[in-house]
A and B are shown apart, each in its own frame.
Chain A
Amino acid sequence: MNTQANVVTEARAESQAITSAVIPASRLLFWSVRRELWENRWIYLAPLAVAGLFLLGFLISLIHLTGRMRAAMVLDPMQQYDVIARPYDIAGGLMMITPMIVAAFYCLDALYGERRDRSILFWKSLPVSDVITVLAKASIPLVILPLIAFAIAVAMELIVLLVSSAVLLAGGASVGMLWTHLSLPQMLLLLLYHIVTVHTLGPAPLYAWLLLVSAWARRAPFLWAVLPPLAIGGLEKLVFNTTYFANVIANRLTGGGTEAVTPPDAFPTHPMTHLTPGIFLSSSGLWIGLAVTAVFLYGAIRVRRYQGPS
């Protein structure tokens, strides 16, 4: 009897020693983000598919490359630039828009899907807090997708540059114009700046709103996400005959109204673009947007705490 009691006591002491083992939040976050990428492989497959289609189109357009370059010789430098930069601008533009679409679909399902398939009960049986879970999900549109999009854009533009050069050299043409007009590192840095400012920090409150609706809606999260803003915009127009709310949303989507670059109407990776991060960082729009993002994410964390399977 005594020996048995001792064994039990030892087992208890041992198990309490293990109890104190704690996994750091950074590791919980890492695995939670990884799990999102396992579940939603299209987060990187969709941009890759878009890049693949673009490269296919680009290869077909190579037939006319030599002719186009020759024709461009007689143009003035600004027009020359536009002709040469076109495939790079299309590649960059695709990697600005694709991640936004992917992010919207992802956010709308991120906290709704786990309730729909009841797997939330499994996730909640593990020592991962609602804060870590929601932050991991928010990091997909705010960190992971911009990085994926930028990395793919770098690969696309490098392939375009190398393949065009090879084709021109093989056809006996000069690559001088191609390489003197274009500074790939500069274009890519401008692209990264643009993705971070206009396509990530700008629409951040919209992504957070979708996450909140996804955490809260019992069904039809898309309708809950879209109809209330539409109703607010409609009411504003009806009562005050203004479109302030609609403009705010539209600016968040398109990057209008931000002071990230001057001039604002040129293509964001144009060499004449001046970065104005100081103005961007000191604009009230950015900080109001980030504050709204924080409020929505806090709401999503609170709501998930109360949610069981729907």
Chain B
Amino acid sequence: MACIEARALRKAFGNSIALDGVNLRVEEGRILGIIGPNGAGKTTALNAMLGLIPYEGELRVLGRDPWNERDQLMRDVSFIADVAVLPRWMRVSEALDFLAGVHPRFDRAKAEGFLTKTSIGHHRKVKELSKGMVTQLHLALIMAIDARLLVLDEPTLGLDILFRKQFYDSLLNDYFDRSRTIVVTTHQVDEIQDVLTDVVFINRGRIVFQCSMEEFESRYSEITVNPEKLSAARSLKPIYERQGLGRSVLLFDRADRQQLAALGEVRKPSIADLFIAVMGDQAGQAQGAA
């Protein structure tokens, strides 16, 4: 059974179409990154998966219909939304008490273990904590839930680089165990490139690109070309070209690496570069159509 299965998923808010026929299948044990510009429909897609909004089309998460079975689904799904949403009045101890009271798969001792690694005292209120500490607290609570799917929507937004690094490190080392599935959206694409097993680009409510990271690494290569070899390199049909330090950087899809090596220094491209290439192409097509 796939963890998430969406067919022709569609959602409109009034006249604006947020999701326009999304087809997506995420197997269990994967870490999927959903990447897209602002307003592309990332959060809408996640909200539909979490049962927060109604939708058209077919959607199953862990075999359940999210909109009609949200509370049952939440026994097996955890999520951190794009902003710190822990109630500001709540004490840390109250959050632990409440989760232990209502969540069948919350392990209080585990959460307390994570919290002892931080400087967050049990009697502190959420509103007294810094933004980084609130995220640490939320992560400690979430990681103590033995969920099968974890959804993260811009979990590190507004955090400094140390907290962001720490966040993904603890997620991978203390939480992910290959039987869980993680879906994450973020703007800091490069920071999670090594974390992901799959990547999806979404634009204007549609999935415009998807592949696994193994496929990504075998398909795409990037070379830095000296000016004298530029025309030879261009003849191999790069999918994207940019300038870096006076030299051209070309991105290739399914090119012969040995052939490329003769033209310049070959590197593994970043998801961000491919994202810009794919999105630039989209914009070009849109302009061409207009």
- Residue numbers of A with Cβ under 8 A of B are 8, 11-12, 15, 18-19, 21-23, 27-28, 30-32, 34-35, 38-39, 114, 117-122, 124-130, 132, 306, 308-309
Contact = CB atoms under 8 A, between A and B. Distances in A.
A35 B89 contact: no
Contact of B104 (A23, A114, A117): A23
B86 A124 contact: no
Main secondary structure of the interface of B (DSSP, over half): loop
21 contacts: A18-B146, A21-B75, A22-B75, A23-B101, A27-B102, A31-B101, A32-B102, A34-B98, A38-B89, A117-B88, A118-B81, A121-B52, A125-B79, A126-B99, A127-B75, A128-B74, A129-B70, A132-B71, A308-B47, A308-B53, A309-B85
B264 interface: no
A21 B105 CA distance: 8
B78 A125 contact: yes
A8 B29 CA distance: 10
B54 A306 contact: yes
A269 B94 CA distance: 40
Contacts of B29: 8
Pick the most buried of A120, A124, A127: most chain B CB atoms within 10 A of its CB: A127
Interface string B100-115: 0111110000000000
A18 B76 CA distance: 9
Contacts of B50: 124-125
B242 interface: no
Contacts of A30: 101
B66 to A, nearest CB: 11
Nearest to B82: A121
Contacts of B89: 38-39
Main secondary structure of the interface of A (DSSP, over half): helix
Interface string B23-54: 00000010000000000000000010011111
A34 B75 CA distance: 20
B262 interface: no
Contact of A12 (B76, B98, B179): B179
Interface in B67-93: 70-81, 83, 85-91
A127 B64 CA distance: 14
A127 B104 contact: yes
A82 B171 CA distance: 71
A309 B43 CA distance: 13
Contact of A15 (B53, B79, B88, B148): B148
A129 B71 contact: yes
B71 A128 contact: yes
A82 B75 CA distance: 59
Given A117-B88, A119-B87, A125-B78, A21 B102 contact: no
Contacts of A34: 98, 101
Contact of A18 (B71, B79, B104, B178): B104
B177 interface: yes
Nearest to B146: A18
Nearest to A19: B76
A309 to B, nearest CB: 8
A308 B179 contact: no
Nearest to B51: A124
Q: Which 3 A-B pairs have the closest CB atoms?
A: A31-B101, A129-B71, A21-B104
Nearest to A114: B87
B101 A119 contact: no
B102 A8 contact: no
Nearest to B68: A305
Contacts of A21: 75, 104-105
